[in-house]
């Protein structure tokens, strides 16, 4: 039951983008096409889960045992940056088209505060490794859900007759606000 609560809370109630406002840069930058948003979701999910596992192990077996908890943020950033480089190398060889589509946004995963936030929250909530992995997967699903829904909205908005002063970023921010308000409807769920 605890795992179900973690999943529902991470995906719907405390959505990492729409409720905690982490990961806004890729949310706004990669959300112009659903195909690109789907690719970014996969890359972020992979890095988020892998980073949570590695940072959990570093925290428990190195930082805590040596009394170096104050190095948590720096250590976590280094781990995430290394994992993003690994993902970039894999994507370049496995899927060159996705690598080209993500373009500049792939290196932005390095500074995606959603990944760092999930890693730190896993430690703060005192989850064990399995709960941390479920937490990371759930937040990755929530990130992907928000990103894909928002990119679908943006594709639809491009087809609409939007007033000249609202075209582009203003209407996108307004749509993001409406999407966030829709997710607030889940706030009493858990």
Segment 84-114, tens digit of pLDDT: 888 788 888 888 887 777 666 677 777 778 9
At 105 the pLDDT is 66
| Cα–Cα distance measured from residue 18 to residue 143, given in angstroms and rounded to the nearest whole number | 9
SS3 content of the chain, % helix, strand, coil (to 5): 80, 0, 20
The pLDDT tens digits of the residues spanning 27-81 come to: 888 788 898 888 888 888 888 999 999 999 999 999 999 999 999 999 999 999 9
The rounded percent of the chain whose pLDDT value lies above 70 is 97
The pLDDT tens digits of the residues spanning 152-189 come to: 999 999 888 999 999 888 999 999 999 999 999 998 88
Measured on CA atoms in the order 150, 138, 24, 107, is the torsion positive or negative?
negative
Helical pair 113-124 and 129-159, crossing angle rounded to 10 deg: 150
| The pair of three-digit structure tokens given for residue 28, joined into one six-digit string | 């706004």
């Amino acid at each position: 039951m605890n795992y179900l609560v973690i999943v529902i809370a991470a995906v719907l109630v405390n959505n990492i983008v729409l409720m905690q406002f982490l990961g806004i840069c890729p949310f706004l930058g990669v959300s112009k096409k659903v195909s690109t948003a789907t690719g970014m979701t996969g890359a972020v999910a992979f890095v988020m889960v892998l980073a949570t596992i590695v940072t959990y192990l570093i925290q428990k077996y190195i930082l805590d045992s040596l009394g170096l908890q104050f190095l948590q943020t720096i250590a976590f950033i280094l781990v995430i940056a290394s994992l993003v480089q690994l993902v970039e190398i894999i994507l370049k060889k496995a899927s060159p088209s996705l690598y080209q589509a993500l373009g500049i946004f792939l290196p932005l995963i390095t500074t995606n505060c959603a990944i760092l936030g999930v890693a730190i929250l896993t430690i703060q909530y005192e989850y064990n490794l399995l709960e941390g992995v479920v937490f990371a997967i759930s937040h990755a699903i929530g990130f992907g859900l928000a990103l894909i829904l928002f990119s679908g909205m943006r594709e639809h908005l491009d087809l609409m007759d939007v007033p000249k002063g609202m075209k582009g970023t203003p209407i996108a921010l307004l749509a993001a606000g409406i999407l966030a308000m829709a997710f607030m409807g889940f706030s009493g769920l858990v």
